[in-house]
Structure 1
């Protein structure tokens, strides 16, 4: 625990006042008050990262009583903590916090023990903030939902994985982590990102603009994959179904795969599932090990001071980013 006597009474915050509107404003809000009995920590926020589409979520999900502060990916320093927490005042941490609480785009924010992990010491604050959501989604897709085994399981050796949207924020993490297991990774991307995803560990890169997935899969039996992880949805997901072999699995993180299953698909006993990641400091800690070993890394597209949040959100929604957009809350007082 630490004293809060020297802390400000109000903080800057990005507020989405109307859940039916995507307008965000920079306002003053009271200093958050953590509930220590519920494992809540008060953090001094150094950087946060918005997520594509997050400004539409409030209009689709009923969150009565929730003040909509944006950005749930955060990196910062613990200010106050429960006495029994492994994270105490002064610890440098990062997290993906629960959407069901107010977000972290404010000078001080709340995170629970279960959400937190110590941030990698070989990353900048911006890189730390860019990691949690994407890396945890990749980790959970591979090691909680694929059913092949844990990270170090020999069952991954020789498995083939198709990742659609492999140059996207989640896709690039799936490519990096999956390639470390010994699996063969095939990634899809636009033509400008083919070399990029191969540099991340993909054995093969497919240009989704010119590749006919059905023809590619039928070209030779070796092209078929055991696991599809779709990060795009739509036509990419529909095409990816043709690539999975008998007894394979299709995982979707954008939409349920079953809705895009081709009626004439001939592969047998193919299962599918859709999931939404659950914030997990334990999963993030596993990713931290790989980052600190230099085996994988986040990609930051651009960094903006909090006051320039409009430009940051425009960049997020442009569809042209490579990596994550970050808001640096300390940009006016130190170098990024």
Structure 2
């Protein structure tokens, strides 16, 4: 095996810059496994990177890669790896790097776990990055408690659709902001209240113990909605005002408990195992918006940019 397919782009720009091309297949080290990727999904950070708004992080060397999550089959195991055999169906998240949108990915065992047996490959990958991010944000960062009031911005998206479910699972009263066409959808996921984000401004809303921000704009206005002892967790920043947005997040530490907690997901095997357990129990369900063949990745990016998404846009490689 020498070459494989991968999603690539040779310049920053609109979805039209994307293509599926040939790159060298990865060679694993002794402490890695090789996974044949069956499905991956499109995440918001990839749109930002492709547009060139994260070039200080991604650099300017081309071609650049895409994809952070994957479901597939282990095909090769490093000599020092134990407890994993070729042929196992797994899911995983690369964390803070791209490259999962390809036929094969080389990963450390701590980045993968057995995929939920009751979910298809498309269903499983739709739950992965959003599920681990929402679980970390609400349980570990915000320490959401039963009976607390939770506001989820972007309640129908890849992270928000799982956050609504996890919030309800943890016993919170969930309010979700979403587009008008998705209000019944987020109520069905477990939101006690669903509001149109276009007609309900922050000043129209009440007080919340926890605010989960998956959008990144107007963070100052949404932080003002926190009740005494409230916590705000952000997984996004304003991509059109990156310096000001990140500066506000960093400066919010002066507000003590009401600072904006920002993090980038980097899940471990234990988190993947826990998420799989919830999926197999039916307490968290996947939400698939569309499933497309791999060579339609540009269409998937266009669809996510158009908004109104319900869950995830999935790409199928096999």
2:179 to 160, 180, 190: 190
Distance in 1 (alpha carbons) for counterparts of 2:205 and 2:58: 43
Map of 1:228 onto structure 2: 211
**2:280 is equivalent to residue 292 of structure 1:** yes
> Structure 1 residue 97: deviation in Å?
0.8
Map of 1:166 onto structure 2: 155
Map of 1:14 onto structure 2: 7
CA RMSD of aligned residues (A): 2.6
Structure 1 segments unaligned to the other structure (5+ residues): 1-7, 149-155, 218-223, 262-266, 331-336
Cα deviation, 1:283-318, whole Å, max 9, x if unaligned, reads: 121111110001111211111111222222222222
TM-aligned CA distance change 1:66 to 1:140, over 3 Å: farther
> Structure 1 residue 183: deviation in Å?
1.4
TM-aligned CA distance change 1:209 to 1:193, over 3 Å: same
Which TM-score applies when normalising by structure 1?
Answer: 0.81
Distance in 2 (alpha carbons) for counterparts of 1:125 and 1:269: 40
More RCO (CA 8 Å, sep 6+): 2
Q: Is the 8 A contact 2:19 2:295 kept in 1?
A: no
Q: Which has the higher helix share?
A: 2
Cα deviation, 1:130-151, whole Å, max 9, x if unaligned, reads: 2221111101101221145xxx
Q: How many residues align?
A: 301
Structure 2 segments unaligned to the other structure (5+ residues): 238-244
Q: Is the 8 A contact 2:118 2:280 kept in 1?
A: yes
Cα deviation, 1:94-153, whole Å, max 9, x if unaligned, reads: 1111443x50222111122111011111111111222221111101101221145xxxxx
TM-aligned CA distance change 1:204 to 1:233, over 3 Å: same
Cα deviation, 1:247-286, whole Å, max 9, x if unaligned, reads: 211111112588389xxxxx99633221111132221211
Distance in 1 (alpha carbons) for counterparts of 2:299 and 2:200: 34
Map of 1:247 onto structure 2: 229
2:94 to 88, 97, 100: 97
Give the greater-gyration-radius structure (CA). Answer: 1
> Structure 1 residue 81: deviation in Å?
1.7
1:73 to 55, 62, 69: 69
TM-aligned CA distance change 1:21 to 1:35, over 3 Å: farther
Map of 1:140 onto structure 2: 136
Mapping 1:277-316, distance limit 5 Å: 277-316=265-304
Map of 1:152 onto structure 2: none
TM-aligned CA distance change 1:167 to 1:184, over 3 Å: same
Q: Is the 8 A contact 1:247 1:268 kept in 2?
A: no
Distance in 2 (alpha carbons) for counterparts of 1:281 and 1:64: 32
Please give the secondary structure, in 2, of the residue aligned with 1:130: helix
> Structure 1 residue 26: deviation in Å?
1.6
> Structure 1 residue 240: deviation in Å?
2.5
